[in-house]
Structure 1
Amino acid sequence: MHFLEQAPRHLFFTGKGGVGKTSIACATAVQLAAAGKRVLLVSTDPASNVGQVFGETIGNQIKAIPAVHNLWAIEIDPQAAAQAYRDRIVGPVRNVLPESVVKGIEEQLSGACTTEIAAFDEFTALLTDPALTAGYEHIIFDTAPTGHTIRLLQLPGAWSGFLEEGKGDASCLGPLAGLDKQRAQYKAAVDALADPQRTRLVLVARAQRATLREVARTHEELAAIGLSQQYLVINGVLPAGEAEHDGLAAAIVQREQAALAAMPDVLQSLPRDQIALKPFNLVGLDALRHLLVASAGPQTACAVELPDRLDAPSLASLVDDIAVDGHGLVMLMGKGGVGKTTLAAAVAVELAHRGLPVHLTTSDPAAHLAETLEGSLPNLTVSRIDPHAETARYRQHVLDTKGAQLDAQGRALLEEDLRSPCTEEIAVFQAFSRVIREAGKQFVVMDTAPTGHTLLLLDATGAYHREVTRQMGSTGLHYTTPMMQLQDTRQTKVLLVTLAETTPVLEAANLQADLRRAGIEPWAWVINSSVAATRPSSALLRQRAHNELREIDAVANRHAQRYAVVPLLQQEPVGVARLRELAHPEHGNG
């Protein structure tokens, strides 16, 4: 493996949920420890399962892994770290400021940025304090901070005044208000990250076009701030040999090879490794020892018993229930890479096929979806929102208004705040909100929705109410703000999209909790791209399908009020016929 050659002291693994960061980080730790190196494995992943992988309870203290000589591990709990952070900042003002203001501050501190910065606060000591880590030759981090987080930590120490004067309004900057004491330690940590002699960043991806585009953006963002020592690992590539007697496996191999051939140019120049998809669950030492080598693994992909037919509701059955009302807003939400855009199109096509008027609105940068559907189906209209244009417009508006009176330092802080992931969500949702009003007389199906945290920030700042009031003018008509509409299950149905894998299901459960905090109850879960729903003949795919059954059961019985399972198709689901196939798996899988 190239990324292990002459490995520096720090190895950071980063990538979207479900791509295999934790498994690769753990396997790397085991391999280095086997080579006689003293290794510390650090996880800052909110959906961490490092303890599960080793069969050990680890927790927030450095602990030796008994089964692996030379290996120690620590799991930093980002949620606990974020809560401690919130308590530290909100505590002093709790009985000083009005309760509504305190609640607003708490909401500012409940987003993903806060959690990430709080976790970074926890592990900076592991990067900079020799007394803590002197005994370890390698420190491996499962999950690296984003470029946005690192840039925030590089900016001047003027956060407290910036926030106290209200210049930031709804903001991700909250957690930095109490950090002036740590600023020197943060600078040392960022310096360590940017030093290729000390740190190597490993980008983990899957052989999928969308995932590779995402990792290319991550690469450019981190390289722009000095983290240039990057390696690329393509994980979970289906071996070509599996394609011999299985049409689905053959289609997957062809699709993956096409995605790798069309990889963005910025990734082509990076040192690259490829790890084959394994039939076994990546839990336990045997599995970890075989992950990074090209052997068959600790268990052969022998005959696996699968049910003749997966007894789970189809997407068409969910659409039946949605269609009853004749109109309404349908929002598809989920983490990146789970297929929200495709499923939004499938829901829209199903509704239109029933003779119902549908407006599908998407922020999908791949305009081929809109082109495929445009004019091809009665009752269906498609609009596409350009996230980059909307975000640029929103940023400029904020800089022209809030930023007009700021000095250079204040403006720099505001500009960085506007690079937060929340900013794009707000900008795109404001564009979507112009379409939402149509849901009173037809179906509006929305792909890519903001998180509950972003919705609460928008509502707290009055952005919804001001926008709606401006649009309604002095008509005197009764109106409902988008937030009120989203909270009303008679008007809005939220569908959470996930995959039948451990990390994506955990992330969807976290998103559900986030939405519930905003008073929005998800209506259903959709498990996308399921191998278990396809009756595969490939031994490896049958084992993968067997592994999915546990996650499908968790969604059905623990997380969701109602759910559907959508099969992985042999062909990319583009075009009306294939989109309908997603909803009707009984029609075949071709």
Structure 2
Amino acid sequence: MSSRYIFFSGKGGVGKTSMACATAVQHALQGRRTLIVTTDPASNLADVFEQPIGHHITPIAAIDSLWAMEIDPDQATEEYKARTLDPIRAIFPPQMVAVVEEQMSGPCTSEIAAFDRFTDFLVVNRASQPESFDVIIFDTAPTGHTIRLLELPAEWTRSIELAERGSGQTCIGPTATIQAAKVKYEQALATLRNAQQTEFVFVLQPEAISIRETQRAITELQRLEMHNFRLIVNGIIPPAALETPLFAARAKMQQHYLATIASALPYPNQRMTLFDGEIKGWQRLKQVAHALEDATATAPDLTSTVSVDLLGRNRFTRKGATSRRSWSAPLSAILAQIKPNSHRRTIFFAGKGGVGKTVASCVTAVWLARQGYKTLLLTTDPAAHLGDVLGVAVGDAPRQIAGVDHLWAANIDPKRAADQYKVRILDDARRRGRPEGAIQVMAEELDSPCTEEMAAFDRFIDYAVQDGWDAVVFDTAPTGHTLRLLELPVEWSKQIDVKVFASVDASAADGYAKARFGQVIEMMRDPAQSTFAFVLYPETTPIVEAYRAAQELATVGIQPGLMVANFVIPEEATTTPFVQARRAMQEHYLAEIGERFAAPQLTIPLLPQEVKGLEMLIELGEQLFQPMPELT
């Protein structure tokens, strides 16, 4: 066995969890004691294995030698706080314990707690751990958040060292109580950098954005002195689908990108074809596990031309559009959720990674701008694909997009936002007359990795309350991280002011917070002002993830306003048994979307190639949102 720890990463929606689970099954079938752990806040392991898993190491019923665990951020936080506070309670008076407990009430404690639990598996002491494993597989969150996770050992070690030289305080408690954590993080970092122990597997599909994200991620890991990379190129169109022009066109597109992967990413790789159904359940996972052992698979060779244009409109005629829209709500109901009315309209596109949130966001923003609405398109996703889809550069500040009047776009850079955020908060403290000693303590608290999340959130709020826009379209991070972002305003008084304003006048901070964020909370909860659009493709995992997210948002008074079903195979394309099987699967789940969600449904068809560039976005927007006389 070459590696003890295997990290799976990649752009959302490329099949990362499926490949991680299949790899875990592969190792287990070969007799190795295997554990698969997910660090994704929106975990899907239970859905793939079709059994409950949760926050404890759980045996997989159908497969010997295989266990799984889904790290739950809330439970990890309670465990982390207990480990930190219990020793303090035994030594210090209740007043001091209360101060430390208050310090640990912020959202960054949740981040470090989940991370801390993750590092347990990298530095586990076999003498104290009842289970021992030959292989530990990590199914991580989509790439941007994975890089963030892997940066944390070095960042928290640095933060603790700086705090030790100053006040001895961090945003996760006194340094005296977390020295063991510092040692553990140093050990975790050493393990991650050891190519003999740790392997990074990037799952990607033969598409431009997926390739670029993989390249960026590998560059970042190399900067962190992490190496030993392998690729799984997933979703390759099989020969059984090539008689269908739509899939033949997509296969032709894939051939170009497979050549790009071979030249730009010269790492060991395996290729996996697209299956005619979902990858879930132990039987299908065993099938995929056996297929992973064949590293010589190649893409089909296309020698004929394919007669479809970018949107496949010679196949999807007006008559065909009627069939394509059969699962959609009336156009008027869809437009009511995206067009501004007497209020500015703020649209949040949310969902599992890889479901097409960025495309849906860009198509909607471009269409709104072309209707004359002054529109801001914004992303909070660390992967930041707006520029890739728009085909133009997108920076940290709103910039007007050439070629589309009334459209501006921006990509929040968390690191830059954090720098600006620290300066603003410290300047504010000085204006309030706080002593330099208190400001120094505050600077130490702000010099922590979690400040980036706080700062990105702060920038999000700036745009949310900014005047002058008719429509604001948010392309959000994948579901779990989106929920953390959207719940922050509601939790402000309990969490954020403790972290950010710990050394500033509390009453002033509280008044500032309530005035600023009360407006945002009201906006998010008001369906006349905001629409939460869940993007998904018609399969179990994205539907279940969207349903869970909708239930969680309902607890803070937010309801979904629009469901966007993406990658729907047009009925006209069902000309082979392979395509017919996938379409039948989709029809089942399209009906389930309607049953689970009390919101209008918009369907976006599977297209012959990637959606990118303003011309294609404009055409797709007209196809989706313009009235069709034949249907009215």
TM-score, normalised with respect to structure 1: 0.74
Matching residue of 1:579: 621
What is residue 416 of structure 2 aligned with on the other side? 392
Aligned with 2:134 (options 137, 141, 154): 137
Asked if 2 retains the 8 angstrom alpha-carbon contact of 1:361 and 1:432, the reply is no
Q: Quote the residue 2:183 is aligned against.
A: 184
Q: Is the 8 A contact 1:63 1:74 kept in 2?
A: yes
Q: Does 1:23 align with 2:18?
A: yes
Q: Which amino acid in structure 2 is aligned with residue 235 of structure 1?
A: N
CA contact (8 A) 1:30 1:68 kept: yes
Q: 1:520 to 1:24 in 2, by over 3 A?
A: same
Q: Is the 8 A contact 1:487 1:520 kept in 2?
A: yes
- For the pair 1:341 / 2:349, whether they are aligned, the reply is no
Q: 1:520 to 1:59 in 2, by over 3 A?
A: closer
Q: Which runs of 5+ in 1 are unaligned?
A: 1-5, 298-306, 464-477
Per the TM alignment, residue 362 of structure 1 is displaced from its structure 2 partner at its CA by: 3.9
State the alpha-carbon separation in 1 of the partners of residues 202 and 426 from structure 2: 36
AA at the equivalent of 1:313: A
User: Which position in structure 1 is the counterpart of 2:68?
Assistant: 74
Task: Indicate how the Cα distance of structure 1 residues 132 and 115 shifts in structure 2: closer, same or farther if over 3 A, else same.
Answer: closer
**Residue of 28, 53, 57 corresponding to 1:33:** 28
Q: Which moved more, 1:413-422 or 1:147-156?
A: 413-422
Deviations 1:242-285 (A, max 9, x none): 453222212322333344445598x6133222211111332334
Contact persistence 2:25–2:289 (CA under 8 A): no
Secondary structure of the 1:155 match is helix
Q: Would the aligned equivalents of 2:14 and 2:204 in 1 still touch at CA under 8 Å?
A: yes
Whether the aligned pair in 2 keeps the contact of 1:19 and 1:206 (CA below 8 Å) is yes
Letter aligned with residue 328 of structure 2 = A
Note the 1:163-562 alignment, pairs <5 A: 179-239=178-238, 241-242=239-240, 244-262=242-260, 268-293=265-290, 310-313=326-329, 317-323=333-339, 325=341, 327-334=343-350, 335-351=352-368, 357-363=373-379, 364-366=386-388, 368=390, 380-388=405-413, 391-392=415-416, 394-399=418-423, 402=426, 414-417=446-449, 420-421=452-453, 423-427=455-459, 429=460, 432-433=463-464, 436-439=466-469, 442-448=470-476, 451-454=482-485, 457=488, 460=493, 481-512=519-550, 515-516=553-554, 519-531=557-569, 535-562=573-600
For residues 177 and 505 of structure 1, the distance between their equivalents in structure 2, rounded to whole angstroms, comes to 45
TM-score normalised to the size of structure 2? Answer: 0.70
Which residue of 1 is the match for residue 318 of structure 2?
none
Q: Kindly state the Cα deviation for residue 211 of structure 1 after the two structures are TM-superposed.
A: 2.8
C-alpha displacement of 1:339: 2.8
Q: Residue in 1 aligned with 2:6?
A: 11
Q: 1:409 to 1:401 in 2, by over 3 A?
A: closer
SS at 1:500 equivalent: coil
Q: CA separation of 1:62/1:322 partners in 2, compared to 1, >3 Å: closer, same or farther?
A: closer
Question: What is the alpha-carbon distance in structure 2 between the residues aligned to residue 105 and residue 515 of structure 1?
Answer: 24
Structure 2 counterpart of 1:357, which letter? Y
How has the CA–CA distance of structure 1 residues 182 and 103 changed in structure 2, closer, same or farther, with 3 Å as cutoff? closer
Contact persistence 2:532–2:562 (CA under 8 A): yes
Quick one: structure 1 residues 342 and 444, their matched pair in 2 at CA, closer, same or farther if it must change by over 3 Å? same
Amino acid of the residue matched to residue 15 of structure 2? G
Distance 2:553 2:109 in 1: 12
By how many angstroms is 1:577 displaced? 1.9
State the partner residue of 2:158: 155
Query: How far apart are 1:18 and its partner, in Å?
Result: 3.3
**Residue identity (%):** 24
Contact 2:347 2:474 in 1 (8 A): yes
Q: Match of 1:283, as an amino acid?
A: K
Deviates more, 1:269-278 or 1:183-192: 183-192
Hey, what's the Cα distance between the residues in 2 that align with 1:524 and 1:237?
31
Q: 1:585 to 1:352 in 2, by over 3 A?
A: same
Once the two structures are superposed, residues 218-261 of structure 1 have per-residue CA deviations (whole angstroms, 9 ceiling, x without a partner) of: 3233332232122122222223x245322221232233334444
Within 2, Cα distance between the matches of 1:509 and 1:262? 37
* Alpha-carbon distance, 1:318 to partner: 0.8
The 1:374–1:137 alpha-carbon spacing in structure 2 relative to 1, beyond 3 Å, is closer
Contact in 1 for aligned 2:60/2:68 (Cα 8 Å): no
Aligned length: 544
RMSD of Structure 2 on Structure 1 (CA): 4.8
Distance of 1:76 and 1:338 partners within structure 2: 22
Task: Decide whether aligned partners of structure 1 residues 542 and 551 sit closer, same or farther in structure 2, where only a CA change above 3 A counts.
Answer: same
Gaps of 5+ in 2: 295-321, 380-385, 395-399, 431-435, 501-515
Q: Supply the distance in 1 between the matched residues of 2:67 and 2:401 (Cα, whole angstroms).
A: 53
Q: Which range is displaced more, 58-67 or 335-344?
A: 58-67
Q: 1:264 to 1:338 in 2, by over 3 A?
A: farther
Q: Give, in angstroms, the shift of residue 155 of structure 1.
A: 3.1
d(CA) in 1 for partners of 2:517, 2:59: 60
